[in-house]
Amino acid sequence: MITLLGKHGKHLTTLFQQIRGSKSWPVTKEVLDVQLNEIREAGTWKTERVIVTKQDALIRVEGSKEPVLNFCANNYLGLSSNAEVVKAAKDALDKYGAGLSSVRFICGTQDIHKQLEKKIAQFHEREDTILYASCFDANAGIFEVLLTPEDAVISDELNHASIIDGIRMCKAKRLRYKHRDMNDLKVKLQEAKDCRLRLIATDGVFSMDGNVAPLKEICDLADEYNAMIFMDDCHATGFFGKTGRGTEEYFGLQGRVDIINSTLGKALGGAAGGYTTGKKELIDLLRQRSRPYLFSNSLPPAIVASASKVFDILMHNNQLSDKVANNTKLFRSEMKSLGFDILGDNHPICPVLLGDAKLATVFADKMLEKGIYVIGFSYPVVPKGRARIRVQISAAHSKDDIMKTVNAFKEVGKSLNVI
């Protein structure tokens, strides 16, 4: 709009000189400063380390001379800078342009958007799929559309923020069950037995602990109480389970979950985008009513094409999911035999429990000095006294990378009296 208004660069300069904010700014600034200081004093201020290369197993970060081994991305399959995936994006830029300048239903749907939706549905063996700009948006869209005050949504207390926000926006009765506690889920299902619809909402894999939802028990309770299951499988799609189909496949329960949301922003190329996949009628209704879909721009063609290439790769071989599983097994068993406490199930999210928040920070800094990039997590992201370093394994890591990291953990662990 500004470019339209200021016809000449000269005008623009004057325009910017005039825009110094309204008179109320000093008061607003005071209000904001209070909050900013609170965050700093609580020790929860987030800084962003700047990467100056592609996302990969070996990266360079600003301020360090040597490349570092990266163990903190969601790049589980190592596809974020895969040559074929990048080429698909480049070709799509030439053929389909940089973007659509429209939402889907006005003039923002290309053939590649429809093809990708079909491919994702095939991958999950579902009837249809709807793409979103992100999984956060996908999660914001579904509950509001599907559920009315006559219905109930019953969710795990530790679900991802996007699920919690999505649920907040809907008018259904909201019940929360204790984290992975099936007795409590049963109690809540009982409480909701007179509602029209019951929807159980869970993460497939919980990202802070690397543990998996007890899906078999959830499916059985859903059958018993005639409830639907919604699962957010962002930390599983593409690599978890024998052929990377996710948490359902990990448990041998393909087809039991009614609605699956996932992201293209983690294992599946890592660019952006999310989706919901399930029954045709559900997807039809989301296309008509879901606000993040209706009122946000279409996914850029380059992203659609790179994600599409990722699914082609995954549907033709399991080598990458095999490799990340092998790497995970190696890391977990080596670390355990050194005496570290590794949380979670058999998942590439491998949280190394340290307990003390300060210790986790110092530990991570010392690891970086040894060329290993890992992140310490502490309260409020995880409970007090449960600080940890969350290591994330990728198919891009070699066996040698894994062993280097294990050795660095051993040296730092000994120097800090952890093991």
Ligand X SMILES: *Cc1c(COP(=O)(O)O)cnc(C)c1O
Q: Which is nearer to ligand X, 83 or 161 (CB)?
A: 161
Q: Is 332 in the site for ligand NAG (CB under 6 A)?
A: no
Q: Give the 3-state DSSP-derived string for the chain, with helices as H, strands as E and coil as C.
A: CHHHHCCCHHHHHHHHHHCCCCCCHHHHHHHHHHHHHHHHHCCCCCCCCCECCCCCCEECECCCCCCEEECCCCCCCCCCCCHHHHHHHHHHHHHHCCCCCCCHHHHCCCHHHHHHHHHHHHHHCCCEEEEECCHHHHHHHHHHHHCCCCCEEEEECCCCHHHHHHHHCCCCEEEEECCCCHHHHHHHHHHCCCCCCEEEEEECEECCCCEECCHHHHHHHHHHHCCEEEEECCCCCCCCCCCCCCHHHHCCCCCCCCEEEEECCCCCCCCCCEEEEECHHHHHHHHHHCHHHHCCCCCCHHHHHHHHHHHHHHHHCCHHHHHHHHHHHHHHHHHHHHCCCECCCCCCEEEEEEECHHHHHHHHHHHHHCCEECEEECCCCCCCCCEEEEEECCCCCCHHHHHHHHHHHHHHHHHCCCC
CB under 5 to 8 A by kind: which of ligand NAG, ligand X, none does 142 bind? Answer: ligand NAG
Q: Is 310 in the site for ligand X (CB under 6 A)?
A: no
For tokens 């991570």, the residue is: 364
Q: Which is nearer to ligand NAG, 75 or 361 (CB)?
A: 75
29 an active-site residue?
A: no
Give the shortest CB-240-to-ligand X separation in angstroms. Answer: 12
> Distance (Å, rounded) from C-alpha 419 to C-alpha 417?
6
Q: Is 230 in the site for ligand NAG (CB under 6 A)?
A: yes
Q: Is 334 in the site for ligand X (CB under 6 A)?
A: no
Q: Is 134 in the site for ligand X (CB under 6 A)?
A: yes
398 an active-site residue?
A: no
Q: Is 126 in the site for ligand NAG (CB under 6 A)?
A: no
Q: Which is nearer to ligand X, 201 or 283 (CB)?
A: 201
Q: Which of 323, 332, 386, 390 binds ligand NAG (CB under 6 A)?
A: 323
Give the shortest CB-235-to-ligand X separation in angstroms. Answer: 5
> Distance (Å, rounded) from C-alpha 151 to C-alpha 227?
11
Q: Is 322 in the site for ligand NAG (CB under 6 A)?
A: yes
CB under 5 to 8 A by kind: which of ligand NAG, ligand X, none does 235 bind? Answer: ligand X
Q: Which is nearer to ligand X, 210 or 376 (CB)?
A: 210
The active-site residue, picked from 80, 155, 207, 321, is 207
Give the shortest CB-294-to-ligand NAG separation in angstroms. Answer: 11
The active-site residue, picked from 113, 124, 188, 235, is 235
Q: Which of 191, 146, 194, 136 is nearest to 172 (CA)?
A: 146
User: x/- site string to ligand NAG, residues 180 to 219, per CB under 6 A?
Assistant: ---------------------x------------------
- Number of residues lying near ligand X (CB under 6 A): 13
Are 197 and 152 in contact, with CB atoms under 8 Å apart? yes
For tokens 């593409």, the residue is: 238
Give the shortest CB-284-to-ligand NAG separation in angstroms. Answer: 13
Binding region for ligand NAG (CB under 6 A) out of 9-17, 114-122, 322-330, 376-384: 322-330
Q: Is 132 in the site for ligand NAG (CB under 6 A)?
A: yes
Q: Is 306 in the site for ligand X (CB under 6 A)?
A: no
186 an active-site residue?
A: no
User: x/- site string to ligand X, residues 89 to 128, per CB under 6 A?
Assistant: ----------------------------------------
Cα-Cα end-to-end distance for the chain = 60
Q: Is 263 in the site for ligand X (CB under 6 A)?
A: yes
CB under 5 to 8 A by kind: which of ligand NAG, ligand X, none does 265 bind? Answer: ligand X
Give the shortest CB-2-to-ligand NAG separation in angstroms. Answer: 33
Task: Estimate to the nearest angstrom the gap between the alpha carbon of 308 and the chain centroid.
Answer: 18
Which two tokens mark 342?
Answer: 């590794």
For tokens 């994006």, the residue is: 89
Site residues, ligand X (CB under 6 A): 134-136, 160, 162, 203, 207, 232, 234-235, 263, 265, 274
What residues are labeled active site?
A: 207, 235, 266
Site residues, ligand NAG (CB under 6 A): 130, 132, 138-143, 145, 162-163, 166, 201, 230, 232, 261, 276, 286, 290, 319, 322-323, 326
